[in-house]
Amino acid sequence: MVNTNKSIFAFTGHWVSDYDARMQVVLPGYNLMHEIVASYLRVTLASTSSILIIGAGTGMDILTLVDHGSRWQITGLEPSREMLQIAREKIESIHLPKRVRLECCRVEDFTDATLYDVAVLSLVLQLYPDYGSKRDLLRTVVRHLKPKGWIVLIDSYGECESSHFKQTVNALKVRTMRSGFTEDEANKDIESVKERFYLIPEKRIRSALSEAGFVCVEQIFRAFITGVWIGQLGD
């Protein structure tokens, strides 16, 4: 059970209505990243596999997987009613109710006994305030996986006090300004990332995955401060 005194950022109001447009600017490669995840899952899973999306947001993870055309059964969990409503409208507009199920809940409160072939955790772990709560969230995810099940983890990360991280953040600011933001807006954006998210270095992400039981973890994408890792439960 994840137990934390610090509150987890809640997606409401303008954070929801701006979400899709904002991701195109603040996370360069957002669409490509989801495409790469779907491509890896195409060569990793059977066409009838089951996928658990934790933090379905406004539906990007699910819609990209569905667009890859296999017969995957997808369950999306999302505690923000506002985020879920946008995802639901998009999914209903492409007439996929049978293959996709949506639940308004956190993974910690999801009691369904179904075991999944893979869990996708996209931009959720960064909301958890410390190493212990991140590791416990990953352990909660494991309870919903089949033996030898897979995880895809997408998260912002870095050693925040290091010169390399500062260089990366400055490069991200340049990219944000090239997308039409002013310098002031780009600075505010980076500050908001630091306020809302709790980033840890890649080696800590790898050890949390390892402590939760995942082996052979590979990084399959990185853009500035965001990375994607794939791993499988060991014996």
Ligand X SMILES: C[S@@+](CC[C@H](N)C(=O)[O-])C[C@H]1O[C@@H](n2cnc3c(N)ncnc32)[C@H](O)[C@@H]1O
Closest distance of CB 70 from ligand X, Å: 19
Q: Is 36 in the site for ligand X (CB under 6 A)?
A: no
Measured distance between the N- and C-terminal CA atoms of the chain, rounded to whole angstroms: 23
Q: Is 199 in the site for ligand X (CB under 6 A)?
A: no
Q: Is 61 in the site for ligand X (CB under 6 A)?
A: yes
Q: Quick one: which of 36, 65, 102, 123 contacts ligand X (CB under 6 A)?
A: 123
Q: Quick one: which of 36, 38, 51, 127 contacts ligand X (CB under 6 A)?
A: 127
Q: Is 54 in the site for ligand X (CB under 6 A)?
A: yes
* Chain centroid to CA 187: 23
Pairwise CA distance, residues 228 & 53, whole Å: 15
Q: Is 100 in the site for ligand X (CB under 6 A)?
A: no
Q: Quick one: which of 66, 83, 91, 172 contacts ligand X (CB under 6 A)?
A: 83
Of 104, 87, 96, nearest to 69 (Cα)?
96
Please give the backbone phi and psi of residue 33, each rounded to the nearest 5 degrees, phi first.
-55, -45
Q: Is 80 in the site for ligand X (CB under 6 A)?
A: yes
Q: Quick one: which of 55, 149, 158, 231 contacts ligand X (CB under 6 A)?
A: 55
Identify whether the C-beta of residue 218 lies closer than 8 Å to the C-beta of residue 208: no
> At 141, which amino acid appears?
V
Q: Is 88 in the site for ligand X (CB under 6 A)?
A: no
Identify whether the C-beta of residue 229 lies closer than 8 Å to the C-beta of residue 152: yes
Token couple for 12: 């409401």
Closest distance of CB 233 from ligand X, Å: 19
User: Which stretch, 106-114, 170-178, 199-207, 219-227, contacts ligand X (CB under 6 A)?
Assistant: 106-114
Q: Is 74 in the site for ligand X (CB under 6 A)?
A: no
Q: Is 57 in the site for ligand X (CB under 6 A)?
A: yes
Of 83, 44, 82, 46, nearest to 62 (Cα)?
83
Q: What is the largest CA-CA distance in the chain?
A: 51
* Positions that interact with ligand X (CB under 6 A): 8, 11, 23, 54-55, 57, 60-61, 77-80, 83, 106-108, 122-124, 127
